[in-house]
């Protein structure tokens, strides 16, 4: 009898431990995910009121230009993770994004989930896009965001080998669901110190995909967060803060001058 009770208590304790461990491991709080220095970042510093807006899947008109106008009006710089095929379609918009002081990151050529691609295919997705962004804007992108967040170890390794830092996100307004402006804004309280915030100016390869809700919500997002005392910075600036303001920790563009001729990509 005594033994059975002990066993019961023992198994209960083990069960509780497993629940606690799994809830930590699969925590939906992306702010608690561990950055891997120089390799993969989910968020910036948790002790400073700095945040970074990021826009995925553009350029996509007229929405990217509308977002640029809003950013300009409120003196906010953001980071745009662009799809190569969309840069090909809207090169002048990509140029404008860079010219207005925003940062451009690489978001693959045609938005596949890279975990289903070979290493060679992954490299081509990254290189072709990086080259085009460089050709169009004169800026060599240093940040990569994998489509759908697909980042198994093989993909991360390829991204890293090509000199990119992988940037995910810690807070999403889930604007891609087009749930309505009010619903998008209900997520504002989820923003925290150091948040890398996910928004969309495009939708994968769909040219002209409707992003009017994102555009409509953006001024309120900026105004509310400014009121709460947050400063808006680009992702490289946020990661500089994360690294303790070491001078230009992330300004690696100028160091990574190795270009990959398009002819060698296929
Ligand atoms: Zn995307």
What's the pLDDT score for residue 18? Answer: 64
Cα dist. 210→79, 105, 215, 237 in Å?
20, 22, 10, 30
**Ligand 1 mean position to 186 CA, how many Å?**
22
Q: How far apart are CA 139 and CA 251, in angstroms?
A: 11
**Ligand 1 mean position to 44 CA, how many Å?**
21
Write out the catalytic residue numbers.
56, 200
What's the pLDDT score for residue 97? Answer: 98
Domain coordinates of the chain in residue numbers?
1-29, 33-264
Comparing CA positions, the residue from 123, 71, 74 lying closest to residue 98 is 71
Q: Between 2.130.10.10, 3.20.20.370, 3.90.76.10, 3.30.1490.440, what CATH number should domain 33-264 receive?
A: 3.20.20.370
What's the pLDDT score for residue 32? Answer: 82
**Ligand 1 mean position to 177 CA, how many Å?**
13
Contacts of 169 (CB under 8 A, 6+ apart): 30, 42, 54, 145, 196, 197, 198
**Ligand 1 mean position to 197 CA, how many Å?**
13
pLDDT tens-place string over residues 46-75? 999 999 999 999 999 999 999 999 999 999
Q: Residue 70 CA to chain centroid, in angstroms? A: 20
pTM, rounded to two decimals? 0.84
Which residues have their alpha-adjacent CB atom under 5 A from ion ligand 1? 56-57, 147
pLDDT tens over the chain, length 266 residues? 566 777 777 777 776 666 555 554 445 678 788 898 889 999 999 999 999 999 999 999 999 999 999 999 999 999 999 999 999 999 999 999 999 999 999 999 999 999 999 999 999 999 999 999 999 999 999 999 999 999 999 999 999 999 999 999 999 999 999 999 999 999 999 999 999 999 999 999 999 999 999 999 999 999 999 999 999 999 999 998 877 654 444 544 433 433 333 333 33
């Amino acid at each position: 009898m005594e033994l059975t009770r002990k066993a019961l208590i023992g198994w209960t304790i083990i069960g509780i431990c497993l629940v606690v461990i799994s809830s930590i491991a699969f925590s939906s709080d992306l702010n608690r995910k561990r950055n891997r220095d120089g390799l993969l970042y989910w968020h910036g510093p948790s002790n400073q009121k700095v945040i970074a807006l990021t826009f995925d899947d553009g350029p996509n008109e007229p929405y990217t230009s509308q977002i640029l106008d809003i950013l300009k009006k409120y003196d906010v710089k953001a980071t745009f993770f662009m799809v190569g095929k969309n840069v090909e379609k809207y090169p002048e918009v990509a140029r404008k994004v860079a010219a207005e002081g925003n940062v451009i990151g690489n978001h693959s050529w045609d938005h596949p989930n890279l975990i289903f691609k070979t290493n060679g295919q992954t490299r081509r997705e990254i290189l072709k896009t990086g080259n085009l962004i460089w050709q169009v804007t004169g800026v060599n992108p240093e940040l990569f965001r994998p489509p759908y967040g697909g980042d198994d170890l093989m993909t991360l390794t390829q991204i890293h080998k090509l000199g990119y830092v992988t940037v995910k996100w810690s807070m999403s307004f889930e604007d891609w669901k087009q749930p309505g402006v009010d619903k998008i804004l209900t997520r504002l309280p989820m923003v925290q110190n150091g948040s890398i915030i996910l928004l969309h100016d495009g939708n994968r390869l769909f040219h002209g995909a409707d992003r009017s809700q994102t555009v409509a919500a953006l001024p309120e997002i900026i105004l509310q967060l400014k009121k709460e005392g947050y400063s808006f910075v680009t992702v490289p600036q946020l990661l500089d803060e994360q690294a303790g303001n070491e001078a230009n920790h992330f300004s690696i563009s100028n160091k990574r001058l190795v270009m990959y001729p398009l002819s060698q990509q296929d």
